[in-house]
Structure 1
Amino acid sequence: MDWPVSSQPQSAAVSSDAAEWASGICDCCQDMKQCCFAFWCFPCFACKTSKDFDQCLCLPLLDICGGCVFPASMSMRTYVRLRYGIKGTLCNDCVCSTFCLPCVWCQMATERKKREIPTVLGDIISRW
């Protein structure tokens, strides 16, 4: 059975007033709990973060097959950057994902925490 297409995919364009990352690539120690989880049990942390972004839980495990380039982590970083309208390039995503994988995943987890914090007032109003 064919389903009609109700909307066409839109291109993701980052404007000149695009946002910056909420934390730097080396700011992973700002949240020590998250930092310890990422550095001591990185596969679990990456899988949890991937799941938090509604992606496949096992997506980060594909990086095992990547060699010196980590395609799943690079594509996840690009996805997060485009989702939140953050400035950057694919080349920068590749470099960051290649040289400091735990830092990249901490940065993405921090971004999600800072951008998707529910507001108490919004929850109260939505219940009315």
Structure 2
Amino acid sequence: MKPRHLRTLLVTGAVVLVSLGSTTPAQALPACPANAICLWRHQDGNGERFVWRGGYVDLPARFVDHVGSFRANRSGAFIDWASGKDCRSVRAGDYAGNYSGRFGSKIDAVGDNC
């Protein structure tokens, strides 16, 4: 093998090893009851928790547009009423540790479906 190719392989291997070794595991969200969707005010399941178990529910004022993370143990829908109905379906197993920069900054209500 030519020295140039060998150097390229060594550098590539080193980059892969550093990349694999420097990944940090995702923060695990706290538990959420069976057949419920849990919303937290802050990311990674921190802060106050709201538990939704079914039906249409307007979120408490302190959660409106301020959902930092969620865990779904059932299907449901996140709803924003700011400019008509904007809806995001969620399924059992869905979660987000940092949802505030996404639809979590828009949620007004939770329901069974869109």
Normalising by structure 1, we get a TM-score of: 0.22
Report which of the two has the higher share of helix. 1
Normalising by structure 2, we get a TM-score of: 0.24
Larger CA Rg, structure 1 vs 2: 2
Query: Relative contact order (C-alpha < 8 Å, sep 6+): which is higher?
Result: 1
Report which of the two has the higher share of strand. 2
